[in-house]
Chains A and B, each alone.
Chain A
Amino acid sequence: MNLVSNIPVLVIIIPLFSAILIPVFGRISRSFGWYISLFATFFSFIISISLLNTVLTTGKISYRLGGWEPPWGIEYLVDYLNGYVLVVVGLIAFIVTVFAKKSVEKEIDADKITPFYSVYMLFITGLMGIIITGDIFNLYVFIEIASLSSYALVAMGRKRAALMASYNYLILGTIAATFILLGIGYLYMVTGTLNMADLSRRLPALYNSKVVLTAFAFFTVGISLKLALFPLHIWMPNAYTFSPSVVSAIMASTATKYGAYILIRIMFSVFTLDFDIRVIPFNEILVFLSSVAIIAGSVIALAQTNLRRMLAYSSVGQIGYIVLGAAIANQLAMTGGLIHILNHALMKGTLFLVAGSILYMTGIEEISDLNGMGRKMPLTMAAFTIGALSMIGFPLTVGFVSKWYLALGALDAGMWPLVLVIIISSLLTAVYFGRIIERIYFRDSIGAGEDSNQIIGQSGQSEAPMSMVLPTLILAGLCIVFGIAAFFPVSIAAKAANMLLGGG
């Protein structure tokens, strides 16, 4: 067994081992935590790219953990879908880790920095594992690894409300995971297998079985909770608002994505389109729910006064887009939903990093204190503007690409009211980002924002350190790059969509 053939497992092994190494080296110096994390996320990212590359050239990669034959052993399976999602998560994880150094030093107590990075790496391990595994029970285990570490990460927020946010997240997350476990149990009961590929072969004969229906119901509720699909989103705004900036950035841009990934995987890979549409009108339910999510998320975001909470509610709406694409379930819409996994990660990553930079430099969290910020932090605010324009769906940004595909897909399916939903949400998005942009560029901080001035000490420029500005700008730049050269990610998403919809 040489190293190359073991590449799929390295995606998990590297962050897992660094999670163990960090406390060991942390005894020598605290700074090791960040270096090891950076190293680990960088290699995970590189490996995920090489995996995707292999998938694109040679097709599926199947890796047998410990050499056991599937369906008995645990299989790691990389195809278009998870190869793509792996790269998204790897990219965001790496960039956020670069950003993390300064932000963590400021927001986390010195003696907790080492544990923070250790848990952070465990979280990445969980994410990568969820995405790469081809075994449904293994999936549950990784969900729990990711969830448990994210409870701890959220609890490290600097306000005591973070503890309650984490606690509520724990309760709901555990219920969700238990539901998923129950669903797995039911599927195992009737099929006798835990391998996803094997399940999808055995299930079609059993589609009319009540047990399978029950399993599907448990999966749906459990995953929707994890995904924060409206109205099961209540844990999310608090968790994002009170957690450390780095944590909210990584969670907003990856954690909800793994939920979306699991949903799509279960709906279209374990079950098939045939089941979703023929046996139960599941698609219609999801179309309805996601439309409500899109509108409600935007409306509630409009009412927020805290920047990160507003972004969190905006995420509720954006998750709706991903689910909507999957629920419409034709080639165009599915492509739109899948491409939104990347696009939303880029946009929301940018915006949360900006929120983190603002917090780092000024301690500001409320939107009303952002007056005149455009002069103080020009680069960071430029990134914010790009992220916001992208969220609105401005042409040549990534947001436009997703919305374009979703709208075309909806029209193809004859569901034109959905186009209205998308447009209304774009308008609402324009309003809630527009008022912030107006504040940061066209209002002086004198007056309403006096507090912020005191904290900064002067009204001149006070840009965040380079290690924070650079990753923010890179993510913002990618929002434009993938908005212009959209063809490349879209072609991968289209292949994944084609595969999921049964095109081979």
Chain B
Amino acid sequence: MIEFILAKYNYWIYIVLMMIGFYAIIVKENLIKKIIGINIFQTAVFLFYISIAKVKGGTAPIIWEKAGPYDNPLPHVLILTGIVVSVSTTAVALALIIKIYKAYGSIEEDKILEMKEETVPLSIKGSKKNSEHLTSDSMLYTDE
């Protein structure tokens, strides 16, 4: 049993990491913490990719005269793309959270859900001319 776990330790690590991330996404009320959870969740998958690229005794995939067996470089490349995606997701999420904080005054999900939805009729926002004066976001989301 131990050997079974040890032999595939990279999988166990990624599964545990993934579950930690998943736990944070589901349980945490704080929106930022959820994003941290998402990051852990994604990183777990990245580690999984990197670990499957490893070849026993392999070196860095650089071609030179003494080149021996080398690790598969393709997953590394893929994960570079994956990291870019992950960073962008985080960026969008953080931007959203800033907006949410401005609109609701809180980033705790349970508190936000308790708040009643305000209505901003279209006519108040008005024509294009009007809305140019509305520079700050807080104007848009008038409190009740």
CB–CB B120/A159 < 8 A? yes
List 9 A-B residue pairs with CB atoms under 8 Å apart, sorted by A's residue number.
A109-B140, A110-B132, A159-B117, A159-B118, A167-B100, A171-B34, A175-B22, A182-B48, A363-B121
Give A363 to B31 CA distance when docked, in angstroms: 31
B contact residues around A161 at 8 Å (CB)? 117
Complex Cα–Cα for A105 and B134 (A): 15
- The answer to the question of A181 belonging to the interface, with a C-beta cut-off of 8 Å to chain B, is yes
* Given A152-B92, A170-B92, A170-B96, A455-B38 contact (CB < 8 Å): no
Known: A167-B96, A174-B89. A107 touches B45 (CB 8 A): no
Query: Which residues does chain A contribute within 8 Å of B104, judged by CB atoms?
Result: 160
A188–B112 touching, CB < 8 Å: no
Q: Are B82 and A170 in contact (CB under 8 A)?
A: no
User: Beyond the given A110-B132, A160-B118, A177-B85, could you list 5 further A-B residue pairs with CB under 8 A, ordered by the A residue number?
Assistant: A151-B92, A155-B99, A158-B120, A163-B100, A164-B100
Q: Give every chain A residue within 8 A of B42 (Cβ-Cβ).
A: 174, 178
When C-beta atoms are compared, the residue in chain B nearest to A189 turns out to be: B52
Within 8 A of B (CB), among A153-209: 155, 158-161, 163-164, 166-167, 170-171, 174-175, 177-178, 181-182, 185, 188-189
Chain A residues closer than 8 Å to B70, beta-carbon distance: none
Does the CB pair B49–A110 fall under 8 Å? no
Given A144-B85, A160-B104, CB of A151 within 8 Å of CB of B38: no
Query: B100 touching A109 by the CB < 8 A rule?
Result: no
- A158–B118 alpha-carbon span in the complex (Å): 11
* B89 partner, pick from A148, A163, A189, beta carbons under 8 A: A148
Contact flag A181-B41 (CB < 8 Å), given A160-B118, A160-B141, A163-B103: no
Residue of A nearest to B52 (CB): A189
Contact call B45/A185, Cβ cutoff below 8 A: yes
Residues of chain A within 8 A (CB-CB) of B75 are 185, 188
Q: A109-B131, A110-B131 are in contact. Are A167 and B48 (CB under 8 A)?
A: no
A171 and B38 within 8 A (CB): yes
The digit string for B74-95, where 1 denotes a CB below 8 A from any CB of A, is 1100100110010011001100
Q: How far is the CB of B26 from chain A (nearest CB, A)?
A: 10
Separation in Å of the B100 CB from the closest CB of chain A? 5
A482–B113 Cα gap in the complex (Å)? 44
Whether A268 sits at the interface, judged by CB under 8 Å, is no
CB distance from A36 to the nearest CB of B (A): 19
Assess the A109–B134 pair: CB atoms within 8 A: yes
With a CB–CB cut-off of 8 A, which chain A residues contact B122?
A: 106-107, 158, 359-360, 363, 455
Q: A155-B96, A188-B75 are in contact. Are A175 and B41 (CB under 8 A)?
A: yes
Instruction: Determine chain B's interface SS by DSSP, over half rule.
Output: helix
1/0 per residue, CB under 8 A from A, across B125-142: the answer is 100100110100000110
Q: Is the CB of A182 within 8 A of B45?
A: yes
Chain A residue contacts of B103, Cβ below 8 A: 160, 163
| Contact B119–A141 (Cβ < 8 Å) | no
Residues of A within 8 A of B82 (CB): 181
B49 touches A185 (CB 8 A): yes
- CB contact list, A418-465 vs B, under 8 A: 455
> Does residue B97 face the partner (Cβ distance < 8 Å to A)?
yes
Whether the Cβ atoms of A110 and B119 lie closer than 8 Å is no
Assess whether B89 is in contact with A105, with CB atoms less than 8 Å apart. Answer: no
Tell me if A's interface is mostly helix, strand, loop or mixed.
helix
3 smallest A-B Cβ distances: which pairs?
A160-B103, A363-B122, A160-B141
What CA separation (Å) do A107 and B122 show in the bound complex? 8
Neighbouring B residues of A170 by C-beta, 8 Å: 89, 92-93, 96
CA distance A163 to B119 in the complex (A): 14
B34 and A178 contacting across the interface, CB-CB below 8 Å: no
Residues of A within 8 A of B128 (CB): 105, 110
Q: How far does the Cβ of B90 sit from chain A's closest Cβ, in whole Å?
A: 9
Most chain A CB within a 10 A radius of its CB, from B22, B41, B75, B78: B78
CB distance from B55 to the nearest CB of A (A): 12
Q: Which residue of chain A is the closest to B131 with respect to CB atoms?
A: A109
Residue pair B41, A178 in contact (C-beta under 8 Å): yes
Question: Chain B 51-86, CB within 8 Å of chain A: the 1/0 string?
Answer: 010000000000000000000001100100110010
**Given known A144-B85, A174-B38, A188-B75, contact A159–B92 (CB-CB < 8 A):** no
B50 to chain A, nearest CB (A): 10
Measured CB to CB, the nearest residue on chain B to A161 is B117
Whether B119 lies near A159 (C-beta < 8 A) is yes
**Cα-based distance from A181 to B42 in the complex (angstroms):** 9
Cα of A177 to Cα of B88 in the assembled complex, Å: 13
**Once the chains are docked, how many angstroms separate the CA of A422 from the CA of B144?**
45
Q: Which residues of B contact A163 (CB under 8 A)?
A: 96, 99-100, 103
How many angstroms between the C-alpha atoms of A174 and B90 in the bound complex? 10
- Contact yes or no, B100 A141, CB < 8 A: no
Minimal Cβ-Cβ distance residue in B for A170: B93
Is the Cβ of A148 less than 8 Å from the Cβ of B49? no
Distance in angstroms from A8 CB to nearest chain B CB is: 21
- Closest-by-CB residue of B relative to A365 is B119
Interface residue? A230 (CB, 8 A): no
